[in-house]
């Protein structure tokens, strides 16, 4: 047993050397497929590690024996049997197949890439090797994403197939100005990434910055677009990209001059640049009347302040600055806290921690069980804590309002940042009171003013001030006439 770590390290080193050797052969052009179909099939199977989903089928054709290889689960069996197997057994050359995408294959790297893309690879001594596109990867239906529902508006969402996602975008933007630049990222995963923008609408500095950043990224693998979002430049404590699973929201962002990054096998699209005003807007705002949409947005900004500052203000008022609150309210609060064994700051932190634990447990648990855990943790546990004298009712009300206000923020990453800020402001309020809370907010805004997302100020158009830019930020101004971007 003591030799297991060393053996694992040796196996990993052998795998790395083998992968490096394969790449070296590919660069030098020495990985040509053998003309013998059976030897070629053995070479491809060995390169894939003889996986159980690799189907290697021998066919007898009038020109001689042939080999057919494909990965089960990635191909459509109907065109495979009717468009590949039947013509080969009838003596039809692959170059004369009726299927739309048939290409010759000369090297092992090309054959492996075709197999992993869901193509069927066939080869014979007389006709050589060919790759036939019969791909049908598993995918779900185009349905509305559960985390971005709207009352009015389209009820469709992105899926895990890049071609389908691009097709959904073209339904909303049927214009030749829609541009999609593709590249491959991820050393082991080799995901296809598409940079989508509207020609003449997206600013050139933003596109140059994105192209430069995408080209220099060195990622070992990329399972989801979130890995790409974390690899882009910017401070780790602020979300500088916006996630979206709605084609209508991405199309609207492209019309505003933003760029979208689509990753194959991921339904989440990255929108860049992402300003604070973008993260606090929702697709449902544009399907409401301007008045109700503006009220909803104002409620989100107020909710941002409540979610981060209300517990700190409560702690500061109880411990440092009791003179700033009415005497009757202060006496009522003190009377309810006479039997509480913890200071206000400790009590607030404990209650916030319990609520976060219940929230995370409700997200991880299955649907019905998660609702049960949430109800038990919030209602029954909170009531029992008050009756037992562990927490006071004003503290519970304050924490509950802060948690509810956090749900007004539509972006999940920004909501998590608000949670961290809420914890950070409470100790500052316990030591310095209201002065500490105001000073901390001023320092936070001073830092945020200097932050940029893809060469765009994070707090724009509020800071730096851009006349007319506020029409679609805190409020949604009615557009009676066509306006400028």
CA–CA dist 126, 120 (Å, integer): 18
Show me where the domains of the chain are located: 31-133, 162-274, 286-457
234 touches 453 (CB < 8 A): yes
CA–CA dist 263, 158 (Å, integer): 11
Q: What is the strand order of the sheet 259-263 is part of?
A: 178-185, 191-198, 259-263, 269-272, 242-244
Which pLDDT does position 421 carry in this prediction?
A: 94
CA–CA dist 450, 442 (Å, integer): 13
Identify the three-state secondary structure at position 8.
helix
What are the tens digits of pLDDT across the range 56-81? Answer: 999 988 888 999 999 988 888 899 99
Look at strands 64-71 and 54-61 and give their pairing. antiparallel
Which pLDDT does position 10 carry in this prediction?
A: 55
444-449, long-range: CB < 8 A, 24+ apart: 448/238, 448/276
To the nearest 10 degrees (0 to 180), the angle between helices 344-364 and 412-449 is 130
Token digits for 61?
A: 């054709």
101 touches 74 (CB < 8 A): no
What are the tens digits of pLDDT across the range 137-183? Answer: 777 777 778 777 777 778 888 988 888 889 889 888 888 889 988 88
CA neighbor of 473 nearest in space, from 298, 304, 251: 298
Per-residue pLDDT of the chain (485 residues; tens, 9 = 90+): 333 445 545 555 555 565 555 555 545 445 788 888 899 999 999 888 888 889 999 998 888 899 999 998 888 889 999 999 999 988 888 888 888 889 999 988 889 989 988 899 999 888 889 999 998 877 777 777 877 777 777 888 898 888 888 988 988 888 888 998 888 887 677 788 899 999 989 999 999 999 988 888 877 777 778 888 877 766 667 888 999 999 999 999 999 899 999 998 888 999 999 999 899 988 888 888 888 888 888 999 999 999 999 999 999 998 888 888 888 888 888 888 888 888 889 989 988 988 888 777 777 766 666 666 666 666 677 777 777 778 888 888 899 899 999 989 988 889 989 999 999 999 999 999 999 999 999 999 998 888 888 888 888 888 777 766 677 788 877 765 444 55
**Bridge partners, 182 (sequence order):** 194
Alpha carbon separation from 148 to 156, 192, 271, 341 (Å, rounded): 10, 25, 15, 43
Return the number of other C-beta atoms located less than 10 Å from residue 21's C-beta. 11
Angle 322-325-326 (CA atoms, 0-180°, nearest 5)?
A: 120
**Burial (0-12, 13-18, 19+ Cβ within 10 Å), 148:** middle
Produce one character per residue of 373-385: b if its CB has 16 or more CB atoms within 10 Å, e if not.
Answer: bbeebbeeebeeb
CA–CA dist 256, 252 (Å, integer): 6
CA 249 from centre of chain: 15
**φ/ψ bin of 4: left (φ > 0), alpha (ψ from -120 to 50), beta (otherwise):** alpha
DSSP string, 211-257: HHHHHH---S--SSHHHHHHHSSS-TTS--SEEE--HHHHHHHHHTT
CA–CA dist 27, 21 (Å, integer): 10
CA–CA dist 414, 298 (Å, integer): 16
Q: Can you list the positions of beta strands (E) in 62-100?
A: 64-71
Place of tokens 């009415």: 326
Token digits for 292?
A: 């109700």
300 touches 285 (CB < 8 A): no
Place of tokens 């990222």: 185
134 touches 79 (CB < 8 A): yes
164 touches 139 (CB < 8 A): yes
Which pLDDT does position 469 carry in this prediction?
A: 67
370 touches 359 (CB < 8 A): no
Which pLDDT does position 440 carry in this prediction?
A: 95
Which pLDDT does position 303 carry in this prediction?
A: 93
CA–CA dist 146, 226 (Å, integer): 18
């Amino acid at each position: 047993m003591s030799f297991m770590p060393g053996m694992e390290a040796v196996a990993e080193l052998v795998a790395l050397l083998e992968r490096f050797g394969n790449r070296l052969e590919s660069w030098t052009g020495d990985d040509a497929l053998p003309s013998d179909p059976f030897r070629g099939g053995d070479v491809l199977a060995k390169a894939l590690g003889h996986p159980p989903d690799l189907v290697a089928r021998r066919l007898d054709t009038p020109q001689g024996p042939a080999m057919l290889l494909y990965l089960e689960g990635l191909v459509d069996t109907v065109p495979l049997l009717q468009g590949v197997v039947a013509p080969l057994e009838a003596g039809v050359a692959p170059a004369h197949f009726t299927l739309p995408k048939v290409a010759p294959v000369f090297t092992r790297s090309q054959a492996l890439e075709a197999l992993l893309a869901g193509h069927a690879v066939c080869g014979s001594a007389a006709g050589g090797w060919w790759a036939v596109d019969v791909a049908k990867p598993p995918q779900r239906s185009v349905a509305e994403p559960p985390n971005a529902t709207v009352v009015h508006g389209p009820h469709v969402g992105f899926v895990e197939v890049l071609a389908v996602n691009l097709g959904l975008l073209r339904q909303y933007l049927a214009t030749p100005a829609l541009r999609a630049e593709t590249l491959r990222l991820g050393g082991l995963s080799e995901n296809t990434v598409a940079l989508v923008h509207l020609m003449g609408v997206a600013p050139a500095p933003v596109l140059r910055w994105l192209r430069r950043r995408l080209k220099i990224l060195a990622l070992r693998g990329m399972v989801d677009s979130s890995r790409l979002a974390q690899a882009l430049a910017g401070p780790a404590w602020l979300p500088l990209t916006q996630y979206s699973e709605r084609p209508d929201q991405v199309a609207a962002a492209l019309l505003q001059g933003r760029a979208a990054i689509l990753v194959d096998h991921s339904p989440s699209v990255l929108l860049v640049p992402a300003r604070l005003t973008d993260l606090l807007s929702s697709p449902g705002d544009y399907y409401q009347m301007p008045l109700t949409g503006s009220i909803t947005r104002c409620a989100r900004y107020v909710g941002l302040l409540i979610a981060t500052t209300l517990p700190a203000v409560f702690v500061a008022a109880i411990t440092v600055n009791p003179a700033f609150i009415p005497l009757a309210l202060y006496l009522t609060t003190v009377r309810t806290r006479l039997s509480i064994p913890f200071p206000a700051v400790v009590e607030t932190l404990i209650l916030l921690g319990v609520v976060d634990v219940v929230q995370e447990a409700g997200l991880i648990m299955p649907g019905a069980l998660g609702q049960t855990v949430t109800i038990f943790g919030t209602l029954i546990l909170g009531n029992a804590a008050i009756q037992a004298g562990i927490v006071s009712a004003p503290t519970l009300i304050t924490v509950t309002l802060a948690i509810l206000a956090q749900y007004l923020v539509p972006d999940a990453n920004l909501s998590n940042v608000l949670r961290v800020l809420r914890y950070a402001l409470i100790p500052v309020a316990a030591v310095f009171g209201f002065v500490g809370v105001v000073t901390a907010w001023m320092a936070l805004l001073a830092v945020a003013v200097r932050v940029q997302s893809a060469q765009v100020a994070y707090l724009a158009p509020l800071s730096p001030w851009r006349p007319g830019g506020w029409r679609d930020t805190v409020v949604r101004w009615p557009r009676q006439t066509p306006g400028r971007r």
